Amino acid sequence: MSTWWTRIRSQSCRYSTLKRRKIKIINHEKNRCETVNIIVRAILIAVVVSLAAVVWSGFYVLPEGYQAVITEFGKPVGQPITEAGLKFKLPVIQEVTYFDKKILIWDGDPNQIPTNDKTYVFLDITARWRISDALVFMQAVKTMGRAMTILDDVLDGTVRDLVNKNDLVEIIRSSDWSPETMSGGNPEGAREEVKLGRDKIAVLIHEKASQITPQYGIELVDVMFKRVNYIDTVRIKVYERMISERKRIAAEKRSMGEGEKAEILGKVNRELNEITSKANREAMEIKGAADAEAAKIYADAYNKDPEFYAFWKSLEAYANAVGKNTTLILASDSEFYKFIESVK
């Protein structure tokens, strides 16, 4: 009986142990599945985020004033993009290269160049340019620094070629220059005729250089002379010539002025003599008329009262003869003495 009970208890314990082991295994498998699910979920989230980041990296913004070229493994793909806005490219395998679309400035270094008449001048040239074809520019030039170097070569060579073929007067003057402005109307000042002029030469430089730059994707907008200067030896000669020319013109002006002055003074003297002569004649006529009128008045007065007229003439004679400090001695029987006594 006890053996049977012991066997039952032993089997019961074994069953309990197996049951606990089974539960433990089930819990372990459950925990393992949950861990796998968490890992898978994290991987999926990472993949989705990575894909979103990759897709997002394909979007880019092209700003105003710029153009872009898309490259795939370093090679251009398609045509340049010139319209600003939000754009898309293939992520990872494609890249965007930006180029300026605005008008840019090129300033060359002043160069000493001989003209056709063997006169050396310093020329300082400036130009305006822009990238007309970004794809060609990227393939032929690549960088802005190299673009400046190319423009240096093209423009310096063109300027030197055209300056060598023209005289100094063509470089320093414009075609609309008027000799009368500088020489005061003297035909001698017009002895150096301007056929082209500086402005026309600048246009020719622009036209000739514009035939070369398109192969680099560059368009020249304009070319201008910023400064033209002489070398020291030429400058001294030019200053001396300018001084001599100014002195000659000044002497001509003074000579013309003296001639006009003499003519004006002669005319003034003639008019003054005429006016003086006319005034003297009129004065003599007026004086003669006045003397005649006075004589007439005297005659009329004499005819009316000869004694009073004689007395009045005596008074005039005394007035003219007697000064301020004159002592007058009169006879007591004189008419003037009697008149004074009667006045008292």
The per-residue pLDDT for range 74-114, each reduced to its tens digit, is 788 888 888 888 877 878 787 888 888 899 999 988 888 88
- Shared domain for 168 and 122, answered yes or no, is yes
In a domain, 21, yes or no: yes
Q: What are phi and psi of 192, to 5 degrees?
A: -100, 100
Give the CA-trace dihedral at 45, 47, 50, 55, to 10 degrees. Answer: -110
pLDDT of amino acid 189:
42
In a domain, 206, yes or no: yes
In a domain, 89, yes or no: yes
In a domain, 244, yes or no: no
End residue of a domain, out of 34, 67, 100: 100
End residue of a domain, out of 23, 40, 57: 57
Grouping H, G, I as helix, E, B as strand and the rest as coil, residue 324 is coil
d(CA 271, CA 26): 145
d(CA 68, CA 66): 7
Domain total of the chain: 4
d(CA 120, CA 98): 43
d(CA 307, CA 283): 34
In a domain, 263, yes or no: no
Tokens (6 digits) for 292: 């005649």
Q: Are the beta carbons of 155 and 209 closer than 8 angstroms?
A: yes
Q: What are phi and psi of 302, to 5 degrees?
A: -65, -40
- Shared domain for 167 and 186, answered yes or no, is yes
d(CA 62, CA 288): 109
Q: Are the beta carbons of 124 and 198 closer than 8 angstroms?
A: no
- Shared domain for 200 and 167, answered yes or no, is yes
Give the chain's length. 344
pLDDT of amino acid 172:
78
Q: Tabulate helix, strand, coil % of the chain (nearest 5).
A: 60, 20, 20
In a domain, 262, yes or no: no
Give the CA-trace dihedral at 314, 316, 317, 321, to 10 degrees. Answer: 140
The range of the structural domain enclosing residue 181 comes to: 104-230
Residues of the chain where predicted confidence (pLDDT) is lower than 70: 1-31, 54, 57, 175-192, 298, 301-302, 305-313, 315, 317-324, 326, 328, 330, 332-344
- Shared domain for 166 and 149, answered yes or no, is yes
- Shared domain for 135 and 71, answered yes or no, is no
In a domain, 41, yes or no: yes
- Shared domain for 140 and 87, answered yes or no, is no
- Shared domain for 122 and 96, answered yes or no, is no
Residues 64-83 pLDDT 10s: 888 988 888 878 888 888 88
d(CA 90, CA 78): 13
